[in-house]
Amino acid sequence: MDMTALGRRVSLAFAVFFLFISCNGAFAEEKAVLISTSDDQSATSLTVYNANIGLVKEKRNVNLQEGTTELRFMDVASKIIPASVYIKSSGRDFKVLEQNYEYDLMTPQRLLEKQIGKEVRLYYKSPYTDKEETVNATLLSYSGEPIFKIGNEITIGLQGKSIFMKMPENLTSRPALVWLVSGKKSKQEIEVSYLTEDLSWKADYVFTVNEKEDRLDISGWVTVDNRSGVAYKDAKFVLIAGDINRVREEPRTRRVMAAQAPAAVPQFKEEGVFEYYQYTLERPATIKNNQSKQISFLSAADVPVKKEYVFRGESYYYFNRYPERVPAQKVGVQLEVTNEQKNNLGIPLPRGGVRAYKTDSSGSLQFIGESQTDHTPKGEKIKVRVGDSFDIVAGRKQTDWKKISSDVTESAYEISLRNHKKETVVVKVIEPVPGDWTIINSSHEYAKTEASAVEFSVPVLADSEAKLLYKVRIKQ
């Protein structure tokens, strides 16, 4: 054999051998990819705050490979706050080297944007032949409407279907957390927690007042609104009531009206946490993405209620002479309930909307008004303004006003209260008096309820009129 030919063959064999070794080495250096989906979940916990955020905690079982692995954690919320992500594992040798959040989602717009400058196939109706045709075109630009180059022509607003030759890089069909982890080959349970926006909850209450208007039944509902971009299956639900501090103000979600419903069965366990209260649902629940779920949390029957008639003044009445008489003003109606155990309540009640109904003489329920209540600790009063009285009318006039000195004035007022009902009522008159004030004389007893408020209780007989007269000295 020719020694030159033999040398060439040996050189080629060595080249192939080294290429084989090099390729194997390159493949060995490539990291394994492990994909974990919601099917791997062993437990899910969801803590929802009434600040439009939620804390998601997931446990999943994964089969970790030897060495460095790319762990793709799928089925996470699209509204996730990446900086809040925390991961831990049951394995001691589990180490996180790098974390990424991939959210460049595959949408028609993103697909087109990724193809700018590249060739695509178009299936469209030709303006020349009026027939369906397939043609190759170059996408020149896309900003709401694609601009194509077909042959030597540039066209805008071409109606048809775009067919891509291959999947663009760095696009994902759904958001994912991606970690670069290292460890030994083993089955491990990892726990991942993160905050997500667009998870919220609110409370709604239904007050059903009896015919005598001295007792009512209360049913409470919580509405959980999930717009975070992912569903939560068989999750442990915890709701946090209180005003937590956020770095930036979050927009409020749309209000979900609570429907009137039969008496609720309490399903939440309540306990204090830091300066807030948490309500834990004592069973797992599932909430889909873009779903509002109502869960009953309170049922209280035969609760004592006090109906009050309230007439409020205005502070500007006191600054100058006000000769104009106000002949007819509205008198508000409110329901007052004390949040005490003896009243079948006595638990911290979260802020929420209240809708009130009244049982009429036939036993039918009629809607009588709605209001909003704040967080109410046990022992405090819940006051719900339901509307204005039809049969009670107030009038007001200033009977005297004079300036005593540069900063002292005296003024007198007459407030008339006309009751067209068949029973006696008591109207609470609240006057917001500004400055440093003293009541000089009054036709009725009064109480200084605040630094700038005086309160009178005025009985008004059935189908009669009562007048409240008082004089006040004010130092500005």
| Alpha carbons within 13 A on the beta-carbon side of 443 | 13
Residue 136: per-residue pLDDT: 79
> Could you tell me if 207 and 357 are in contact, meaning their C-beta atoms sit under 8 angstroms apart?
yes
Residue 433: per-residue pLDDT: 93
> Could you tell me if 258 and 204 are in contact, meaning their C-beta atoms sit under 8 angstroms apart?
yes
Residue 394: per-residue pLDDT: 95
Residue 206: per-residue pLDDT: 94
What's the token pair of residue 384? 């719900």
In Å, how far from its chain's centre is CA 260? 21
Could you tell me which of 117, 148, 116 has the C-alpha nearest to residue 135? 148
Is the dihedral angle over the CA atoms 300, 305, 307, 310 positive or is it negative?
negative
Per-residue pLDDT of the chain in tens (476 residues, 90 and over written 9): 444 443 444 343 333 333 333 334 433 345 688 888 889 999 999 999 888 899 999 999 998 888 888 888 888 898 888 888 988 887 777 888 888 876 555 566 666 666 677 777 777 777 777 777 787 778 777 777 787 787 887 877 666 666 666 666 655 656 788 888 888 888 889 999 999 999 999 999 999 999 889 999 999 999 999 999 899 999 999 998 876 676 654 443 333 333 333 344 456 666 666 667 788 888 899 999 999 999 888 899 999 999 999 999 888 888 888 777 888 899 999 999 999 999 999 888 988 999 999 988 888 889 999 999 988 998 999 999 999 999 999 999 999 999 999 899 999 999 999 999 999 999 999 999 999 999 999 999 999 999 999 999 999 999 999 999 999 999 98
pTM for this predicted structure: 0.68
As a dihedral over the C-alpha atoms of residue 426, residue 432, residue 438, residue 442, rounded to 10 degrees, the angle is: -30
Q: Where are the domains of the chain?
A: 31-104+172-196, 108-163, 198-304, 307-339+380-475
Could you tell me which of 283, 191, 299, 290 has the C-alpha nearest to residue 237? 283
- For residues 41-55, one letter each, b for 16 or more C-beta atoms within 10 angstroms of the residue's C-beta and e for the rest, the string is beebbbbbbbbbbbb
- The CATH number of 307-339+380-475, from 1.10.287, 1.25.40, 2.60.40, 1.10.10, is 2.60.40
- The CATH number of 31-104+172-196, from 1.10.1740, 1.20.120, 2.60.40, 2.40.128, is 2.60.40
Architecture of domain 108-163: Roll (2.30)
Show the 3-state SS of 24-91: HHHHHHCCEEEEECHHHEEEEEEEEECCCEEEEEEEEEEEECCEEEEEEEECCCCCECHHHCEEEECC
The reply to whether 31-104+172-196 and 307-339+380-475 are identical in fold is yes
> Could you tell me if 131 and 82 are in contact, meaning their C-beta atoms sit under 8 angstroms apart?
no
